[in-house]
Amino acid sequence: AFAFTQKTALGLLMPSSEHLPNPSFILARGPDNGYSRKGDGSDYPLGWAGQSPLEAVYLASLLPGAQDAARGLVKNFLATQNKDGFIDLRPGLAGQRAKMLAAPLLASLAWQVYQSTHDNSFIAESFPKLLAFFWNWFSPAHDRDRDGLPEWDHLLQTGFEENPLFDIWNPGSQGVDFSTVDSPALLSMLAREAACLILMAEKLGRANEVELVKRQAELLDNAVAAGWDERAALYQYRDIVTRLSLPGQVIAKGKGGTTLKPKKEFEPRVRLLVEIQTKSPAAKRPTVRLAEQATKEPVEIIAPEQFLWRSGGLVATSQKVYERLGRVDVLGLDAKDKVIVRTVDLTAQDHTLLLPLWAGLPDQQRAQTLIGRAILDSTRFDRPFGLPACASNPNEKADPVCSSVYLPWNQLIGEGLLAYGFHTEAARLVEHIMAAVVQNLKQKRAFYQRYHADTGVGLGERNALTGLAPLGLFLQTLGVTILSATRVRLEGKNPFPWPVTIRYRGLTVTRGAQSTEVVFANGKLVIVTDPKPCIVAM
């Protein structure tokens, strides 16, 4: 499975172009991919029209020893940078641009490359650009309430477009406006970026340039910590105004073209979600007026353009929060259409809320609580074939998104387990994921974009990047880093219940329970018994 993974991953690499200076990659390669009617690739579908930082991080983990490829991916992103630090989310080889800010994972990827290459010139060239990119996330365009905690601009940035909290296409999704929510995943990514920038500055002797970054990192750390829910043993989404994570409830129901008078009071304040259910393909977007008292003027008007089409109708999120709601005027709908007003539910539990573990933000005790009561709980995230997208959902059979295992997210969470010393648990996670991968290779002769957490059935596109076996996580868990055919880094012990043999370009590493044998192409043999980190070279 790992050999097929590397072969498939290498097949996704594409040569550089006039638009990107280094080789890039596509997300899937098959008989139906690659044809451009225009002849220049500008009409390619999404999988061939650029790649996100999360996908780049995952690809880099699948190619041990290929540091040049990972370095080129970082340089491609930096090649799209504007003067204000903006870096495009999905730069494509044919000049495609998403025109959205990239997810903050680039400094993490650059530091990962440096740890394998110790190329000072690479981080010296990249550091000022990555620093400008980091600060762009805190500009008013992304930090709308200017509290130092930015929000996502678009669902595509998150790396989890099917998130039931924000998605509008699945029937069970809420469709909440993501700009009204503080995401622990985004704040954790930024905190990790800050930590990597600080490490780069120290290596370059430029520590004075990151004093403000250190303060920002402390702010991010405190914000993530404030979202910790001890009862749920998990971090939570929080409203950007109330800083609360409240369950949802239906406030009022009615028909289109009517006035609803819920006469409700809320303590604490709540944000509202207005849902329109319609069967008419010609339905128009309504105007909704929200008043705190039935006899008073509305305090907020939700304009038609604020409504988003969704499965079965439309949905809009209020921009204000309310202590009371006395009247809801709905204008422009047919009498057959249904109107539902509810409070936003921010208690959903998904795998992105585990990302503070990867960023190294919780202390050891909190990390142990998160791992023991959430990740290792079989009623929540601990499933036979990997960590599912959602912790629990009574309608999982009807909603495959919540039961899907997204390997790039599992990779990051697995790295978090290793960072806190949970090697046995990380090995168990790898075994669960590999059970799904191997099952599909045997039965369907293919990798899949995602896997079902309970059955291991492949979901989505065949042979997609995000469904390739997690080779990087396997090697990290094993404690082996292939630096080249003549250099290998070892640390810790083999947490798997069997010996592992790795062969790479004439290099053979055999890792048992108590010792590791390294045999180089020239026949030189080195035996290592000390679990402390070391580099073995020919």
- What's the pLDDT tens digit per position in 146-187? 899 999 999 999 999 999 999 998 888 999 999 999 999 999
Mean pLDDT of 324-342: 93
Q: Which residue has the higher pLDDT, 408 or 392?
A: 408
**pLDDT tens, residue by residue, 20-53:** 999 999 999 988 888 888 888 888 888 899 999 9
Confidence bin at 317 (pLDDT 50/70/90)? very high
Q: Whole-angstrom Cα distance, residue 181 to residue 179?
A: 6
Indicate if the alpha-carbon torsion angle 413, 418, 423, 427 is positive or negative. positive
Euclidean distance between CA atoms 448 and 466, whole angstroms: 8
Q: At what angle do helices 106-117 and 67-79 cross, to 10 degrees?
A: 150
Rounded distance, CA 445 to CA 448, Å? 10
Task: Give the separation between CA 116 and CA 64, rounded to whole angstroms.
Answer: 10
Instruction: Check pLDDT > 90 for residue 335.
Output: no
pLDDT, residue 282, reads: 77
Strands 181-182 and 313-325, bridge-based pairing: unpaired
The residues near 320 (Cβ < 8 Å, ≥ 6 apart) are 271, 290, 299, 300
Is the per-residue pLDDT at 394 higher than 60? no
Contacts of 278 (CB under 8 A, 6+ apart): 256, 312, 313, 314, 333, 334, 336, 337, 338
At 259-279, the pLDDT tens digits run: 999 999 999 999 999 999 998
pLDDT at 329 over 50: yes
How high is the pLDDT of residue 393? 56
360 in the Ramachandran plot: left (φ > 0), alpha (ψ -120 to 50) or beta? left
Q: What is the separation of C-alpha 470 from the centre of its chain, rounded to a whole number of angstroms? A: 16
pLDDT at 35: 87
Q: In Å, how far are 194, 257, 381, 421 from 367, measured between CA atoms?
A: 20, 51, 15, 10
Q: How many residues does the chain have?
A: 538
Tell me the per-residue pLDDT of 220-241, one tens digit each, with 9 for 90 and over.
999 999 999 999 999 999 999 9
Three-state SS string over 180-205 comes to: HEECHHHHHHHHHHHHHHHHHHHHHC
**477 Cβ neighbours under 8 A, 6+ residues apart:** 414, 418, 423, 426, 427, 430, 495, 496
- pLDDT at residue 46 in the model: 86
| Contact between residue 489 and residue 472 where contact means Cβ atoms under 8 Å apart | no
CA 22 to each of CA 65, 75, 115: distance values in angstroms, whole numbers, following the listed order: 17, 7, 20
pLDDT band at 12 (very low <50, low <70, confident <90, very high): very high
Number of Cβ within 10 Å of residue 391's Cβ equals 21
The predicted pLDDT at position 34 comes to 84
The proportion of the chain whose per-residue pLDDT surpasses 70, expressed as a percent, equals 99
Burial (CB < 10 A; 0-12, 13-18, 19+), residue 297, is exposed
Residue at 459: amino acid letter: L
Assign 396 a pLDDT band (cuts: 50, 70, 90). very low
49-99: per-residue pLDDT in tens? 999 999 999 999 999 988 899 999 999 999 999 999 999 999 999 999 999
* Residue 164 CB contacts under 8 Å (≥ 6 apart), including other chains: 170, 172, 173, 174, 348, 350, 390, 399, 401, 402
Residue 469 and residue 447 in contact, taking contact as beta carbons nearer than 8 Å:
yes
- Rounded CA gap, 139 and 408, in Å? 28
Average pLDDT for the chain:
94
Q: What are phi and psi of 31, to 5 degrees?
A: -60, -25
Q: Say how far apart CA 22 and CA 44 lie, in whole Å.
A: 19
What pLDDT score was predicted for residue 395? Answer: 47
